[in-house]
Amino acid sequence: MRSLCKGRRCLVISLIRLTKLPRLKRYLREVYEKGWPKEAVVLPITMPPLLPTLFALLTFIIMAPIIWIIDKLKHFDLIYVRSSLLALGILSINSLAKKTCVKLPAIAEDELLRGRKVLALVFKAADRFALARAGVVGCATPIMLKKLVKRRGVLPRGKIVFIPPGVDRLTIEKVKSEVQASRENKKGQRVGFIGSLSWWQGVNILVKAVARLKDLYDKPISLLIVGDGPQRKKVEKLCDELKVDCQITGFVGHDEALKHLASFDVLVVPSIRISTTESNVPIKVIEAWALGVPVITTKHEIYEYMGLRDKEDVVFCEPDPDDVAEKILMVLRDEGLRRKLSERGPRLAENFYYDKIVAGLVSAFRGSETYASA
């Protein structure tokens, strides 16, 4: 968002849980100190702990007339909304809909556990409305767009722009220089995962794989999980049962998460095959590439589409504990393979730097000067 707002007047509306508001204040103070554009105004809206999805929907429906009034007074050239659900109110107003880019990051119901049919219906309806009304539709990849159109049965009315997850070049270089010494002095081998602890991420598979390595590898191996999520208690229980040396950091700031990631000997992402994982490159994989950290990941459709090569760009695995353990062992034992993956990663990450992504988005709105983001 900082890259999008750079050199432009920008209003950023962000939903945040009430319990995380103090962290937001600290974060905003830090980003302003690091050069957050002075033209950008950030408006945080706190959410209650109960029914956050319903609250978000109602909030942005109520906000739509206010954004319309601001548009009449100041004029927005682009309104960027990262969710069809949040865009419903804005897309209901014709003058706003034609200048709105809605990013559709996933087929939301595929990430939900069973028993949430009503919520799934809401997401489906919101996506259909966005495809039919938005001036610009953003997707991470052509594969995700194809799957969305097929599942929703609606062709995009407006322009199409591809907006993958991105990384900041300067932040990556700073983190790499800060953690270099700690990586060289680290004892043992560190296998890691970073991200949300959701069922489809396959973290339980990773824990079982690391447990199998105790009798196969002659050096200490620890597992570092950076993040939090609904599966945390299950993962902690599994680690205790299998006696895996594991640390779960919980929620941490982005810069701190990158420092943890840079300390990994290998990032392992044994994700389950659903529409989201098949269609998108996870931000953690892109950040690992940029930092030169070797990556083991399930062979998803998106990687075949990109033409990635096994044991050249990444190491592919099946989301199965035995296969994951075998691939971890391969990477840890083969110094030449690790070096090859580390050298190739930063070149792969170059296509995901923010400056390139923002250029693609802005090109859909030539001459834009004023932006709103939700």
- 3-state SS of the chain? CHHHHCCCEEEEEEEEEHHHHHHHHHHHHHHHHCCCCCCEEEEEEEECCCCHHHHHHHHHHHHHHHHHHHHHHHCCCEEEECCHHHHHHHHCCHHHHCCEEEECCCCHHHHCCCCCHHHHHHHHHHHHHHHHHCCEEEECCHHHHHHHHHHHCCCCCCEEEECCCCECHHHHHHHHHHHHHHHHCCCCEEEEEECCCCHHHCHHHHHHHHHHHCCCCCCCEEEEEEECCCCHHHHHHHHHHHCCCEEECECCCHHHHHHHHHCCCEEEECCCCCHHHHHCCCHHHHHHHHHCCCEEEECCHHHHHHCCCECCCEEEECCCHHHHHHHHHHHHHCHHHHHHHHHHHHHHHHHHEHHHHHHHHHHHHCCCCEEEEC
178 and 119 in a single domain? The answer is no
Q: What is the pLDDT of residue 233?
A: 95
152 and 211 in a single domain? The answer is no
Q: What's 359's domain CATH number?
A: 3.40.50.2000
Distance CA 13, CA 33 (A): 20
314 and 195 in a single domain? The answer is yes
24 and 117 in a single domain? The answer is yes
**Structural domains of the chain, count:** 2
Share of the chain above pLDDT 90, in %: 60
Instruction: Report whether 77 contacts 99 (CB < 8 A).
Output: yes
Residue-range definition of the domain harbouring residue 142: 2-166+353-373
pLDDT in tens, 204-225: 999 999 999 988 888 889 999 9
198 and 303 in a single domain? The answer is yes
Distance CA 116, CA 182 (A): 45
301 and 366 in a single domain? The answer is no
Sign (positive or negative) of CA dihedral 36, 41, 46, 47: negative
Q: What is the pLDDT of residue 178?
A: 82
Q: What is the pLDDT of residue 367?
A: 46
337 closest CA partner among 317, 314, 321: 314
Q: Are strands 315-317 and 9-17 parallel, antiparallel or unpaired?
A: unpaired
Q: What is the pLDDT of residue 76?
A: 87
pLDDT in tens, the chain (374 residues): 666 766 667 778 877 777 776 776 776 676 666 666 666 777 778 777 777 778 888 989 999 999 999 999 988 888 999 889 999 999 999 999 999 999 999 898 888 766 577 888 889 999 999 999 999 999 999 999 999 999 999 999 999 989 898 998 888 988 988 876 666 556 679 999 999 999 999 999 999 999 999 888 888 899 999 999 999 999 999 999 999 999 999 988 888 999 999 999 999 999 999 999 999 999 999 999 999 999 999 999 999 999 999 999 999 999 999 999 999 999 999 999 999 999 999 999 998 998 888 877 777 665 444 545 55
Q: What is the pLDDT of residue 16?
A: 78
147 and 209 in a single domain? The answer is no
Instruction: Report whether 11 contacts 70 (CB < 8 A).
Output: yes
45 and 60 in a single domain? The answer is yes
Counted residue by residue, the chain has a size of 374
Crossing angle for the helix pair 283-291 and 254-262, to the nearest 10 degrees = 60
pTM score, whole prediction? 0.81
294 and 149 in a single domain? The answer is no
Instruction: Report whether 251 contacts 217 (CB < 8 A).
Output: no
126 and 180 in a single domain? The answer is no
Distance CA 3, CA 355 (A): 7
191 and 322 in a single domain? The answer is yes
287 and 188 in a single domain? The answer is yes
